[in-house]
Amino acid sequence: MNPSEIQLNQEGRLKHFLTTEGLSQEILTEILDTADSFIGTQARSVKTVPLLRGKTVVNLFFENSTRTRSTFELAAKRLSANILNLDIARSATSKGETLMDTLWNLESMYSDMFVVRHADSGAAHFIAQHITPNVAVINAGDGRHAHPTQAMLDMLTIRREKGSFKDLSVAIVGDILHSRVARSQIHALKTLGAREVRVVGPNTLLPHDIESLGVRAFNNLKQGLKGVDVIIMLRLQKERMQNALLPSESEYYKLFGLTTDKLAYAHPEAIVMHPGPINRGVEIESAVADGPQSVILKQVSNGIPMRMAVMAMAMSGQTQELAQEEG
């Protein structure tokens, strides 16, 4: 199935958000515009808006992620939704109940939205295909496949810093092979019109067919950064060392860690991004992470309005479709 088919209702409006792949430039731009409109609400004394009042959002995190789960919970609360955080480690699923049994029970409680994080690629799609049609599903990260809200908050940060995607050259640096964020970023950047997308990393951490996505691959960081406008550093997982994909952290930092000297190869006004949490001295030097070109904390701030935008649009699309079916 085309990834966009399951995500859109009959009117072409968002009703699930599972991946950036296959969505049009118009939909992605609408998501960015909606998130932009929520940024102003974050600095008010009263930060809530009533768009999801009376709705129930369930955080289904089968994989730990304190930061992402917290931002989804805060976004739901600022939309005035009721929020349920399901502790999967203590849930019936861990006691032998199947995933579908758990979902059907949650459906029976008249839940309106599932926010799903899972270690298996395709888990969010599977759930969206098998639950009742009027429950919106938001992918909060599945396996190596996609992390669309992280990618879109990165796009929001880039647009606010650079104005548009036209003529931008973007380098994504690090473990591309295992990164769900990188895939979602590549699809979004290409759709939004970035002039060039590069991926930079050791051969062991670059998919052999990565250039089929329309990107240029580099094994040399200095060459990969030459003249770029945006640098997105990826988090390096410790287990990559144990799996012999890399010789050591110090060797990785020497070749692919972003230092002040290597940053000088990029455009003088290039911005530096990182989805966090940062491994200082492994992926990036503290002087760069905390330096004037870093927008890492702005990415954190943009996470809540972006998740508010996606949740509000998906719920609106579900409501529209339900109204059409009823009448």
Which domain covers residue 250, as residue numbers? 148-300
pTM above 0.85, yes or no: yes
**CB-CB neighbours of 54 under 10 Å:** 9
Known binding residues for carbamoyl phosphate are 67-68, 117, 147, 150, 276-277
More confidently predicted of 17 and 1: 17
Structure confidence at residue 91 as a pLDDT band (50, 70, 90): low
Structure confidence at residue 94 as a pLDDT band (50, 70, 90): low
Instruction: Tell me, yes or no, whether 229 and 319 share the same domain.
Output: no
Backbone angles phi, psi at 271, to 5 degrees: -100, 150
Q: Please check whether residue 279 lies inside any domain of the structure.
A: yes
Q: Which residues pair with 14 in a beta bridge?
A: 8
Q: Please check whether residue 2 lies inside any domain of the structure.
A: no
**CB-CB neighbours of 150 under 10 Å:** 23
Known binding residues for L-aspartate are 95, 180, 235
CA distances from 81 to 64, 128, 141 (A): 22, 20, 21
Instruction: Tell me, yes or no, whether 89 and 178 share the same domain.
Output: no
Known binding residues are 67-68, 95, 117, 147, 150, 180, 235, 276-277
Mean pLDDT for the stretch of residues 61-72: 88
Instruction: Tell me, yes or no, whether 199 and 290 share the same domain.
Output: yes
Instruction: Tell me, yes or no, whether 165 and 279 share the same domain.
Output: yes
The pLDDT tens digits of the residues spanning 31-49 come to: 999 999 999 888 888 889 9
Instruction: Tell me, yes or no, whether 166 and 288 share the same domain.
Output: yes
The label of the residue with tokens 């515009």 reads 33
The pLDDT tens digits of the residues spanning 255-293 come to: 999 999 999 999 999 999 999 889 899 899 999 999 999
Among the residue ranges 54-58, 77-81, 188-192, 323-327, the one predicted with the least confidence is 323-327
Reading the block at residue 114, the tokens are 């599932």
Q: Do the Cβ atoms of 199 and 180 come closer than 8 Å?
A: no
Number of domains, the chain: 2
**CATH number, domain at 231?**
3.40.50.1370
